[in-house]
Amino acid sequence: MQMIRLLSQITVLVLLGRMMLPGGNFEQWCPFGGIETSFLYFTEDTFTCSLGSSNLYMALSIIALTLLTKRSFCSYACPIGTLGEWSGKLSTMLWRKKGKNGKRLKARRQRWSPPPKVDAWLRKLKYPILAVILWFTIEESELIFRAFDPFYALCSQNGHDITFWTYAMLGFVVLGAFVIPLPFCRYLCPLAAVLNPFSRVGLLRLRRSSEACCDCNKCDEVCEQGIEITKVSQVTDARCTQCMECVSTCPLSKALYLGLPGKEPKQEVSQS
C-alpha cells in the first residue's frame, strides 16, 4: 500500500510540474480555489480572479472522496502534504543515531509533538483561519490567501502576488516538519478545515481488532496526525488521512485493517 501511495504522490507532482510549464494553469486545479470562489459563483455566476469551473469540480470531487475514504486526498495527492511528509522522513533519516561501530542505527522518530492539550488547541487554529480567508475573499473579490499560500509559492515561479509571507509559509511546511510532524496540515491548512466535517463521517475507516491487537502502541507512535489508535475500535477522527503507516508498522496482520460499517475480518482460529 505504501508503494501505491508513493506512486500516487509522484504522479501528482509530475502532473503539477507539467501545469507549471508555459500554457499550463496550475491554479485552475486547486481544490481550495473551488471553496474560495463558491460564494461568488453561486451568488453572481462568476469566478474569483483566475479561478474557474475546474476548481469547483475539484472541490466537489474531493469532498465526495472524503465522504468515502476520509481525508485520503491529503496523504495520496496533496502536494503540500507530500512535501511535509517527505521533509519529515528526511529529518528522521538525518537524525539517526550512530552505534558503537559508527554505523547508523535503525531510524526512530525523534520529532517533537506538543502536549495533548496544547496540540488540541493548535488544531483549532485552522477554523478561524478558514473563516478569515473566506471573509476577505468575499469582501475584496480577490484571492487574499495567495499572499500566504505555500502551494502558490511552490508552483507560481515567483508570481505577481508572491510576498515574504508566501515563502515563509512554504518554509514552515518544509522546515517545520523537521521538528513537528506535518505542522501546516495539522494546525493551519484551511482545506483540512473544510474537509474535517466530511471526514468524520467517512465510510471507509481504519479499524482495530481488540482480539488481535497486542497493545504494542507502535501504531500510535507512527501516526503523523497524533491519533491514539490503540484507544478505539474504529478511527472516526477527522484527522485520519488513511496513509496506512500504522498498518505497515503493525506486527500483526489482522490487528488493523480498513473496513466499511458492519464489515469485520475473518479471524483465524488457532489449532491446538
Torsion of CA 254, 259, 262, 263, to 10 degrees: -50
Q: Can you give the pLDDT at residue 125?
A: 97
Name the average pLDDT for the chain.
87
Q: Can you give the pLDDT at residue 223?
A: 92
Instruction: Please tell me what DSSP assigns to residue 28.
Output: G
Q: Can you give the pLDDT at residue 132?
A: 96
Q: Can you give the pLDDT at residue 20?
A: 79
Provide φ and ψ at 251, rounded to 5°.
Answer: -75, -10
* DSSP of 143-195: -GGGGG-HHHHHHSSS-TT--HHHHHHHHHHHHHTTTSSSHIIIII-HHHHHH
Q: Which three cell numbers stand for residue 19?
A: 501545469
Instruction: Using the predicted structure, report yes or no on whether residue 266 has a pLDDT greater than 60.
Output: no
Q: What kind and span of H or E run contains 256?
A: strand 256-259
The better pLDDT of the pair 197, 107 is held by 197
Q: Can you give the pLDDT at residue 262?
A: 65
**What sign does the dihedral 95-101-105-110 (CA atoms) show?**
negative
The better pLDDT of the pair 46, 11 is held by 11
The better pLDDT of the pair 236, 24 is held by 236
User: 44 falls in which pLDDT band (50, 70, 90)?
Assistant: confident
Q: Can you give the pLDDT at residue 52?
A: 87
Q: What percent of the chain has pLDDT over 70?
A: 89
The better pLDDT of the pair 137, 93 is held by 137
Instruction: Using the predicted structure, report yes or no on whether residue 104 has a pLDDT greater than 60.
Output: no
Q: pTM higher than 0.85 for the full model?
A: yes
Question: How does pLDDT run across 70-91, given as a tens digit for each residue?
Answer: 999 999 999 999 999 999 999 8
Question: How does pLDDT run across 144-178, given as a tens digit for each residue?
Answer: 898 899 998 888 877 777 889 999 999 999 999 99
104 by DSSP, 3-state: which? strand
User: 263 falls in which pLDDT band (50, 70, 90)?
Assistant: low
Q: Can you give the pLDDT at residue 107?
A: 43
Instruction: Using the predicted structure, report yes or no on whether residue 103 has a pLDDT greater than 60.
Output: no
